[in-house]
Amino acid sequence: MTSELLQQVRAIDPSSETDQVVDVWIENGVIRAIETAISESSEDLPAETTVRDRQGCILAPGLVDLYSHSGEPGRESNETLASLQAAAAAGGFTRVAILPDTHPVIDRPEIVARITHRTPFHYPQLLAWGALTLGTRGEQLTEMAELVTAGIVGFSDGTAIEDLLLLRRQLEYAQPFGQPIAIWPYSKRLANRGTAREGSDSLRFGLPGDPAMSETALIAAAIECIADLGRNDSSITAHFMRVSTARGVELIDRAKQRGLNITASTPWTHLLLSTRNLGSYDPNLHLSPPLGPPADRDALAAAVASGTIDAIAIDHTPIAYEDKTVPFSESPPGAIGLELALSLLWQEFVESGQWSPLVLWRSLSLNPARCLQIDPPRLEVGAPAELVLFDPVRTWTPGSHSLQSKSSNTSWIDRQMSGRVLQIYYPLD
């Protein structure tokens, strides 16, 4: 039996919109009590209860990542399922949804089982997106019913939209299953191999420009597909992933005002960085979609605060050192983030007063779970203890040998930061 009393911890729960300093008693993986003060001599507490003073620390529901990449199967040198889970736990995530671009692709029930059932640890829980097309090649649709039976959380190829007719068919065929369909509204043809959002900074740094319309034109087209298909059926649940432009935010906002059943997310990196950071030519800043100007970054931050952007996604993309250390525009796009996002977002937005802690936790825990249509972790009496304990002032320095991920492709390597996850609590099986 395990019993722990956390004294004077700051308890944050976006589900109930509560933010208060309390004592929390956790026993056998269940939250037993949340009170202003719980006496150590209480008759309810077992004699073997561990009492911890947690003044200044945050206790909140575990974080939920909407989409990230796994090296395993196929690229275990970049990341294994075990190292992915360790990185997620170190960053406060209790659930991570894996995109289907593994090798082999998550387009068959046995690959779903490999991701969700054959991991070395039960927590953090790994969930699987099922591919919309075989091999994510954008040609032949998968056996969707089989993937649903296997336990996927939704459908996505996780790749750029190249064929709007195929998108319409994907939405039509996936509609009866009632699961979210994650769409990346991005045109490689319009992007034309750009590695920075087109503008004054891309010109100044001599980087190939990617126009904003490579995203916005596809958001507008996808919205029209959804609106047309949803006229007689509101069961379509579409999620726009990797929204990165101010104009994209406007289009999402208007679509929601029209009553379309859509959700949207933005990568955590695009809330913290902009094209102004590209002067270093650090290949770890080569992302897809590319970083945009400060106006895009500011619009995304405001959209998270207002709820127009429902969730912040990590899009953790582990890439081996030798593959990433090449000239900026030649490097594969992507960066890791599971261990870093909470600390850096807290420091940037909560410490500065731009967001409340509830906004941050809503975007990293409650809303990602809602987008996936799964029950979110909660900090309430009687709920399973799926929680994260976070010290917002503890300093630490991520290093290539101290990170839990097998890859270290991040621009924050060897840079001291504030905010550290102390512990993850999991429900008992």
Pure H helices in 97-163: 109-117, 144-150
Q: How many CB atoms lie within 10 A of CB 177?
A: 18
pTM: 0.96
Q: How many CB atoms lie within 10 A of CB 49?
A: 18
Q: Which fold has domain 3-59+383-425?
A: Urease, subunit C; domain 1 (2.30.40)
Model pLDDT, residue 33? 97
Strand partners, 31: 26
Q: What is the pLDDT of residues 171-187, one digit of tens each?
A: 999 888 989 999 999 99
Q: Which of 315, 323, 391, 414 is catalytic?
A: 315
Model pLDDT, residue 119? 58
Peptide bond into 289 cis (omega under 30): yes
Nearest to 49 by CA among 25, 31, 30, 33: 25
User: What are the residue ranges spanned by the domains of the chain?
Assistant: 3-59+383-425, 62-371
**Residue 304, helix vs strand vs coil:** helix
**Centroid of chain to Cα 271:** 13
Q: Is 315 a catalytic residue?
A: yes
Amino acid sitting at position 396: W
Q: Which CATH class, in words, describes the domain spanning 62-371?
A: alpha beta
Say how far apart CA 225 and CA 275 lie, in whole Å: 32
Token pair, residue 142, equals 């998968």
> Is pLDDT at 425 greater than 60 in this prediction?
yes
Q: Across residues 28-35, what is the average pLDDT? A: 96
What phi and psi values does residue 313 have, to the nearest 5 degrees? -105, 150
Per the prediction, the chain carries an average pLDDT of: 95
Q: What is the pLDDT of residues 314-337, one digit of tens each?
A: 999 999 999 999 999 999 999 999
Q: What is the pLDDT of residues 380-411, one digit of tens each?
A: 999 999 999 999 999 999 998 899 999 999 99
